[in-house]
Structure 1
Amino acid sequence: MDLREELLSALRAGDGPQTLARLAQAVQRPPTTVRFHLAGLLDDGLAEATPLPPAGPGRPQLAYSARACMDPAGSREFGLLAGALAAALDADPDGAAKAARSGHRLGTVQADPCTGTMEDLLSVLTGMGFSPTATGSRIRLQRCPFLEAAREHPAITCSVHRGLMQGVLDAHGDRRRADLDPFVDGDHCLATIGPPRSAGAPAVR
């Protein structure tokens, strides 16, 4: 258990708000060290500080107590969640289309229509971890942020990514179509932007 967890346990085990000195004694650490970690708990909304009645001149002493909420620190197993969701959609006959529509909604939210279309598309892909490089209308995606899920369920994961790119294009009013060829030469995916969709053609299918 690290010091952050020790402090949180001490706060939750207390019968009321606790002073810095009492917490330092409980975890057997210097007050300066405890104060630093308490600041992190306060910033994350896991603890709150209330001033005690003044006992003399100077700033009033603070007492700390735990708040009822989950700790946002620690690892996130998003890969496991992505794999589980991809597997569920893979079993659905309409799974790829649903995945593309979900990606499309994400793309429209992430897009910034005030910038150029390709500039914005590359910015969104970079921010999501694809490490893109563009040559004209072709974009080489050198990383996949959901590589394991993409290998196991490519129809679903790649549909999300294609829909994501299409959503960015559509947010700019760009009628071109986003296509995606996965695992080209085994070391990258290749996105191609264009040609324009025909009038009335759906953005994603």
Structure 2
Amino acid sequence: MASAGPVCGPISSYSRVQILHLVQSRADRTIGELCDATGLHANTVREHLQRLIDGGYVIAQPERRTTRGRPRTLYSAATGTPGASSPVAKDKAKAAAQRGDLMRRMLPATASELGREADCQLDALIEHLEESGFEPVVDDERLTVDLSPCPHAAARPEDRPLLCQVHLSLMQGVLAEAGGPLTAECVRGEKAECTVQLGDVRGVTHGMA
């Protein structure tokens, strides 16, 4: 089995994972809240947040105040839903789709039977996973993405559930930002084995073993 590549991207730092978990579990977080919950210095939290914003995983909005005073900046997860969409993530998904469309025009056999919208979602998801240090293998009949060997296999066992939960939410956001019928339903795995199960909101039945 090939060795796992280096962990990179939004979940390369456990401190960033903690911050992502907090903004995914509740929107409109303040710097102070994130500092209190993680024990990190405010400057460190700001650095992590800026990297997550630049990557399209977090959005920042000014607080709406009804009293005088400078509004605080509130941070939320980019979920791809109305009011929580990241322009960066949209641009990344569009660029991934353009590259995917070009490939499918050159090599028509690379197109799946899922339709263009779903193929473009997979384009965005694959690029996200590759940027995060994974080597994804997509089965578009079973609607699975094999991420084995998982780069996070060496993480502390007690940290793995949070890592998987946070990354599942990130993948759900990537698919939503791309727009289409596919969703990420769950992550299954043990040790270095890891598989993402996708779903199709159209209710289409796909091939299974």
| TM bucket normalised to smaller | 0.3 to 0.5
Which is higher, the Rg of structure 1 or of structure 2?
1
- Larger RCO of the pair (alpha carbons < 8 Å, separation 6+): 2
- Normalising by structure 1, we get a TM-score of 0.43
